[in-house]
Structure 1
Amino acid sequence: MNKTLCALLVCWSALALADESAVKLRPGNNQDVVARNCAVCHSLDYIQMNSRFLDRKGWEATVTKMVKVMGAPIKEEDVPLILDYLDQQYGKPK
């Protein structure tokens, strides 16, 4: 089975089990871009759980892994918007 199909199956399974109505992201620029892209494959509470550990470099590594390793269908132009939001709203304090 190819990597993209495997990633899509994992994403669909995660969505079937997740109740995203209970998860609220912090308001901020590009919140909608993050929700639209990240919730395709996993619950948005992963962002909240990882926020105490990741600075901008950590978020960048995570998003890069999601795209290149996990096959997340994130448009290249959305990546900097996602990183800005994650860093500003959930980045580890500097």
Structure 2
Amino acid sequence: MSWAYCLPTGVAGYAIVEHMDQGTGNVHRQAMQTPETRGWGIIFTYFFMLYFAILLIHRERRDEEKCKKKYGADWDRYTSLVRSRIVPGVY
């Protein structure tokens, strides 16, 4: 889920650039990709994906401990049948 949320940003980085409209004299602000910011998007937007992965693994381990205490032998039987914890075949 978090990976899909991050993908649209690509590896872009954006800066808020102000420019003045010559006709009206109004100042406009626009998010633009500049050479200085190119590539920085990956650090900030993909951090969410890393944060979310750590959050899910931590929660899974807490839930595992609580369920083992609460359900005992039934939980052991369940985990012997269902081997994957978050992603089937991976973890």
The TM-score normalised by the length of structure 2 is 0.28
Greater C-alpha radius of gyration: 2
The TM-score normalised by the length of structure 1 is 0.27
**Bigger fraction of residues in helix:** 1
**Bigger fraction of residues in strand:** 2
